[in-house]
A and B are shown apart, each in its own frame.
Chain A
Amino acid sequence: MFGLELDRLSKQYPGHLAVDDVSLSIPHGQFVCFLGPSGCGKTTLMRMIAGLEEPTSGTISLNGRDITQEPPNVRKFGMVFQSLALFPHLSVGENIAFSLRLQGRDARVRRERVAELLKLVRLPGFEKRAISELSGGQRQRVAIARALAQEPQEYLLDEPFSALDAKLREEMQAELRQLQAELKITTILVTHDQREAMTLADSIVVMGDGRIQQQGAPADIYRAPANRFVANFVGLSNLLSVEVLDHQTVQLGARVLKVASVADPRTAGQAMLSIRPENVRLADPATGLEDDNVIAGRVTSVRDMGSNLEVILECDGGRLLTVVHARDWRGAGAGDVAHIWLPQDYCRVLAA
């Protein structure tokens, strides 16, 4: 296969299984995000790909060739570390030229390539600067450029934007996406920020407890989370406990609701109904409770966010968060009873 292939990869630390039986294919040229909370094994998985950790079991192959035993300096996957790991004893230019110096490229080639890369990360003319003179965002870019200098087959980034403020982070994300599209280089980015993963990746690998929880295009993962973990970690989800009646109906308290078809056999009996806040609608009181998938709830709090309102309601089976456009808000306050419409297509049933 053309690309990176992980086959049943595990990493056991004393008393803790960091990565548990992970199999994954990353086709050439893709932008993949490993997304998960801290301690989920995403960084360990990336470090095994780079060759910085040895897997306890399983294999890693690149373009069909087994590279599990290859040391990192043979793999030469460009990596941007969370700490950036820029060499303080070298200037910006020397940092970027480090891999070229190792390859024995001559000074003129190195100079040209450094100038080119600095232009790419929008820091032209920074060659002579010391690392200590740079701001956080500038260091970030130098690290990105340094890992690109060797034209790696795989480009690995470990939470590279975590130290930046929100505005700069978004700018850098946009730049990285553009850069990746231009260079068509296989890129793996480790992050705990689901927004970052959603906006950057072609494909997201959601990790939890050392395992892959779900893998797919960002929109698919958002629309159809495979389990409670993913529903909670990627975006916000309302989870209501229900009883599954058949493949399209569930019982919530006294009400029977229609849901998107239940495919997972594990969800028989007690299960969770998952629905995104933006898909929960407040129904016109006139329609009453007779309409399909309308339930009653009591408003517990209303938060005015400007263009939207966040309304929290208490209903059978749990708490429900909904986002209402300010224009549609009829001004109910805490304690009022509201009618809530849960559109069938957005109601997904997950194992409890």
Chain B
Amino acid sequence: MASLGAVAAPSRSRRESVAQAIILSGPAIFLAAFCIMPLVLLVLLSVAHHDEGTLWAPAFELTQYRQLAEPTFLRVIGFSLFLAATSAVATLTIAFPAAYFISRMRRRAQVAWLVFILGALSLSEVLIVFAVQVLLSTSGVLVKTLVDLGVMASAHSLYPNFGAVLTCLVYLVLPYVVLFLYPAVSRLDEEMPQAAATMGASPIRTFFLVTMPLMRGPLVSAAALVVIFTISSYLTPLVLGRPETWTVGVHLSNTAMEAGDVPLAAAQAVLLVAAIIGLLALVRWIGRDRSARA
């Protein structure tokens, strides 16, 4: 009997693995063609030789990577990280309470809010960025209103600056983050905060001591979502920011399109991809289940 079982088991697992291979081959081919191949080409390009005439020539040199260590570029990296972190904090500060309160509403109100948020997602990024530009301009509604209210002494444009870039980025990513947090927040056991209340915790302390820690995993993932979105942002800082508020994405584009240094741009892109992979690893590490510790 034992030997029969031993024979039967592998044949079934082999059949399963064949089925698995067939099912997964589609995504695998897609991934190889549109993600891994371009990435390989990118890496090859980043070690190629920069040539003024032909843009690049196949080679293996680390000149570009050495150039990445230049202070100007390091400052760009630093600023991009700072912008991403600030955006993440600002977005979560708005999105988490929003998702929480939406999940506590009546069913019909919840649906209305979610439809509204999905509606905001249907607007294209380009449209939003230029709409914000118009809104913040000297003749925009916002400036006029502020002047009328006496908050602003005289009409002047509210961009380009860091605040404008941050505001627009938060606006762009906010619907994603609310929708991302909503399922997790909906599943939150209502009796956890209630238990905290019966032990004397005010609503605010309950929020920080119970609700937030219970939501750590989803919050960390949401923060990563914002960081990845922001760090590679291009249009928003370009339109609403000054050169000193440009992100890696803008510099990368300039390097390739204006300076014509395609290998250097490739090296910058490789660094960006590496940074994002590193970030995802960090998120996995932070978000691991600590309640299962020994």
Contact = CB atoms under 8 A, between A and B. Distances in A.
A145 interface: no
Contact of B293 (A83, A98, A130): A130
B82 to A, nearest CB: 29
B150 interface: no
B146 interface: no
A270 to B, nearest CB: 46
Interface in A99-157: 99, 102-103, 130-133, 146-147, 149-150, 156
A71 interface: yes
B194 A99 contact: no
A72 B198 contact: yes
A52 B199 contact: no
Given A130-B292, A132-B291, A85 B201 contact: no
Nearest to A152: B198
B197 A102 contact: no
Contacts of B192: 85, 87
The DSSP consensus for interface residues of chain B is helix
B242 interface: no
Interface stretch (A25-33, A74-82, A172-180): A74-82
Contacts of A103: 200
Nearest to B206: A73
A103 B202 CA distance: 11
Range class of the B interface residue count: 20 to 34
A87 B211 CA distance: 10
A87 B199 contact: no
A152 to B, nearest CB: 8
A70 to B, nearest CB: 11
A131 B194 CA distance: 18
Contact of A132 (B200, B216, B292): B292
B201 A77 contact: no
B191 A78 contact: no
A265 interface: no
B214 interface: yes
A51 to B, nearest CB: 8
Nearest to A103: B200
A130 B189 CA distance: 18
A76 to B, nearest CB: 5
Nearest to B289: A132
Interface string B200-214: 111101100110011
B291 A72 contact: no
Interface in B201-256: 201-203, 205-206, 209-210, 213-214, 216
Contact of A98 (B194, B196, B290): B196
Contact of A73 (B197, B213, B290, B291): B197
A85 B194 contact: yes
Nearest to B291: A88
Greatest chain A CB density within 10 A among B194, B198, B205, B294 is at B198
Contacts of A73: 197-203, 206
Given A85-B195, A89-B291, 14 more contacts: A52-B194, A73-B197, A73-B199, A73-B203, A81-B194, A85-B191, A87-B214, A89-B290, A98-B201, A98-B209, A102-B199, A132-B292, A146-B199, A147-B198
Interface of B: 189, 191-192, 194-203, 205-206, 209-210, 213-214, 216, 290-294
29 contacts: A51-B198, A52-B198, A72-B194, A73-B197, A73-B198, A73-B199, A73-B201, A75-B198, A76-B200, A77-B198, A79-B195, A81-B191, A81-B195, A85-B189, A85-B191, A87-B192, A87-B196, A87-B210, A88-B214, A88-B291, A89-B291, A99-B200, A102-B200, A102-B205, A130-B293, A131-B291, A146-B199, A147-B198, A150-B200
